[in-house]
Structure 1
Amino acid sequence: MIPTSLDYGPLFSWLEESELHQWGQDLPELVAKQLRRERWGDMPEWEETMRRLPEIDPLFTDFSNGVKIGDISLMDKGRRLALQATLMGLHPWRKGPYNLFGMHLDTEWRSDWKWDRVLPHLAPLKGRTILDVGCGNGYHCWRMLGADAERVIGIDPSAKFVFQFYAIKRFAGNRLPIDVLPLGIEHMPEKMAAFDTVFSMGILYHRRSPMDHLRELRQLLKPGGQLVLETLVIEGAEDQLLVPQDRYAKMPNVWFIPSPDMLISWMSKNGLKNPRMVDISTTSIEEQRTTDWMKFESLTDFLDPNDPSKTVEGHPAPVRAVFVAEAPY
């Protein structure tokens, strides 16, 4: 059974009437299976958090200038503090920020900064069906909806992130055409060719086979659809590649960090057309940091205290780049 707090009814109904109806037939059982995984021992606490959220008409939403939900006049300071205490049941909050009825949910990442870097390079999202692979709690999905996407579907295998998304959607409106599924890209049908735009941001370096990941992304796109890829890169020529032997910035699951030219070559070899880098930036301690909503270690703890141009392991400090390409017709 899918918890009632995760309302997939509107999505499943839409799928029945769409060109994705065959996928939709298998999806309820797959979602339920993913949520039954034994390692989600905290799920009863997450469900209790959802049960305690107030039912309130927001009167106001804005997804084009951030993720802002609810008129500040609808909650006094006491109710906002109570809402904050309730949402802390889903700590840590990594992607955001969110503004709920005047309450600032200050996440670890300033994901709005990444969106500002990505947005100028997107094919117009108006009327498009979008897939966001590894979307976390769905912050960028909201921004895609704010850019007039017709339907936004995020996938992320972390059930806690899914609950965080639906906590936000509880206030924004359950009928909005946006959802997050507890799936990884490996759960998507092969050669699906169903989405106008596919995003993969902060995922490639976590994949054991980046070439397979690029192939999977291409096969999710409709002919002529746009891929938006954001990932760690290192400085160097087309033959430069970092393969951390142990950890990278204290992360154990970083497998490959290519140079921009190497990644463009990989994209071309996977059949993507006109791959190009459109942005590159060094991650700052202002963009990724510990907050009241994410109290664990963050970027400051991952860098060499005597040389912030390096990680604690001695690797180059995080530099992130955005690439775009199109699927062939």
Structure 2
Amino acid sequence: MTTFDWQGCFAPLLDDLDSRGLERWRKQLQQQLQKRFDDNPHGDIARWKRALDTLPHIDDVNANLNQSAIALNTGQTLSAQDRANLEDGLRGLMPWRKGPFEFFGTYIDTEWRSDWKWDRVAPYLSDLSGRQILDVGCGSGYHCWRMLGEGAGRVIGIDPGLLFLFQFLSVKQYVGPEQRIDLLPVRAEDLPPKLEAFDTTFSMGVLYHRRSPLDHLLELKDTLRPGGELVLETLIADGPEGYSLMPEDRYGRMRNVWFLPSCDTLLRWLDRTGFRNARVVDVTETTTEEQRSTDWMQFQSLQDFLDPDDPTKTVEGYPGPKRATVIADKP
């Protein structure tokens, strides 16, 4: 049986937390990781680890983190066997939802054009150089790599999906273990209260999955140092201040969608939870060009979740997906 050495994988991060005076988080995190990987391991971990191990060893790797596709390149010529192993390993980690990525000429066309979201958000961010950054609900870590490319001092992404972790590690094993970037398979509610360890916290595509959106905003505020910056992206619904759409059951065939606030309601939520200077920097309708099925994500996608007779609506009859990005400050 192929085992995953989670202790070796996360040891540098755990040591770094100790060195930064975050022993409380390190101890809690170590217990959470042990429970996740040793006490109740996911049944597919061995399969995903085999896929990761199939990827060929490649020297002389350089990474371009500042373009649409996170691109790994090398000066050496890959053999036919290496190219076949590369393809097999990456396909063993399907479905690929967030990206795109390019591994030595093999382009992974992910379900989401996550680069489009980054391009919409990036012009409004504070300079990320040297900042300690948390990315909540980071998926496979695409945006984390973009943050590192912008000069972040340390990036930690969190997402409970274990497949995302192995997709992230497929990139990191080539970029280099010394890079100050990690993905933890935990949830926002698993973080210690009053952590106050980050200069910037991102939460993109999470708020509408939370039964209590105000509690999520308070959790995010707890992660930030005084003066820190929150970058929040979420589904919204048009309406006045105070309005929020709560689906009867599903939204776009998603079960776990709870509240889609209007922009003014979202700003009120941020004010009530203690954030200041909240401002909407982008509102964009999600299209089937931005989210769609591909050869690397062959399941249903957005076009299957919209009304075929009126694609401005979901199959349930709700307004189609529209997303807003808000930036706010912690006093």
Partner of 1:30: 32
Distance across 2 between alignment mates of 1:25 and 1:74: 44
1:307-322 mapped onto 2 (5 Å cutoff): 307-322=310-325
Deviations 1:18-37 (A, max 9, x none): 13233123322221212346
Quote the Cα distance in structure 1 between the aligned partners of 2:66 and 2:320. 31
Question: CA distance change for structure 1 residues 251 and 228 in 2, over 3 Å: closer, same or farther?
Answer: same
| 1:319 CA displacement | 0.4
1:72/1:102 contact within 8 Å kept = no
Q: Residues 260 and 135 of structure 1: is their aligned pair in 2 closer, same or farther, counting only changes over 3 Å?
A: same
How far, CA to CA, are the matches of 2:234 and 2:39 in structure 1? 29
**Mapping of 1:162-173 within 5 angstroms?**
162-173=165-176
**Is 1:15–2:14 an aligned residue pair?**
no
> Alignment partner for residue 59 of structure 1, among 61, 77, 82?
61
Measure the CA separation in 2 of the matches of 1:10 and 1:43.
21
Does residue 144 of structure 2 align to residue 141 of structure 1? yes
Whether the 8 Å CA contact 1:128–1:150 is kept in 2: the answer is yes
Farther off after superposition, 291-300 or 158-167: 158-167
CA distance, structure 2, for counterparts of residue 72 and residue 243 of structure 1: 53
Report the secondary structure of 2:174's partner residue: helix
Task: Classify the secondary structure of the residue corresponding to 1:310.
Answer: strand
User: Could you report, residue by residue, the CA deviation over 1:275-295 in whole angstroms, capped at 9, with x for unpaired residues?
Assistant: 110001011111000001100
Q: How do 1:1-329 residues align onto structure 2 when only pairs under 5 Å count?
A: 3-4=5-6, 7-36=9-38, 38=40, 40-66=42-68, 67-71=70-74, 73-75=76-78, 79-328=82-331
CA separation in 1, counterparts of 2:295 and 2:8? 26
How far apart are the structure 1 equivalents of 2:166 and 2:245? 35
Which has the higher mean CA deviation after the structures are superposed, 166-175 or 77-86?
77-86
Shift, 1:9, TM fit: 2.3
> How far 1:102 sits from its partner (Å)?
1.2
Going from structure 1 to structure 2, the CA distance change for 1:259 and 1:144 (only over 3 Å counts) comes to same
* TM-score scaled by length of structure 2: 0.95
Aligned residues: 328
The whole-number CA distance in structure 2 between the counterparts of 1:58 and 1:321 is: 40
Q: Secondary structure at the match of 2:88?
A: helix
Q: Structure 2: which amino acid aligns with 1:62?
A: N
Query: Cα 1:232–1:159, aligned 2, differ >3 Å: closer, same or farther?
Result: same
TM-score scaled by length of structure 1: 0.95
Distance 1:82 1:182 in 2: 26
**Cα distance, 1:108 vs. partner?**
0.3
Q: Report the CA distance between 1:79 and its aligned residue.
A: 3.2
Which is further off, 36-45 or 167-176?
36-45
88-97 or 196-205, which deviates more: 88-97
SS in 2 for 1:131: strand
Cα distance per residue 1:203-249 (max 9 Å; x no partner): 00000100100011011100000000000001111122110011100
CA separation in 2, counterparts of 1:40 and 1:215? 30
Q: Specify every segment of 5 or more residues in structure 2 that has no aligned partner in the other structure, as ranges.
A: none
Q: Structure 1 residue 62: deviation in Å? A: 1.0
Distance in 1 separating the partners of 2:142 and 2:77: 23
1:321 and 1:6 map into 2 onto residues whose CA distance is 39
Aligned-residue CA RMSD (Å): 1.7
Among all aligned residue pairs of Structure 1 and Structure 2, give the percentage whose two residues are the same amino acid: 50
Q: Which runs of 5+ in 1 are unaligned?
A: none
| Alpha-carbon spacing, 1:203–1:58, altered in 2? closer, same or farther (3 Å) | farther
- Contact 2:281/2:326, CA 8 A, preserved across alignment: yes
Higher mean C-alpha displacement, 295-304 vs 160-169: 160-169
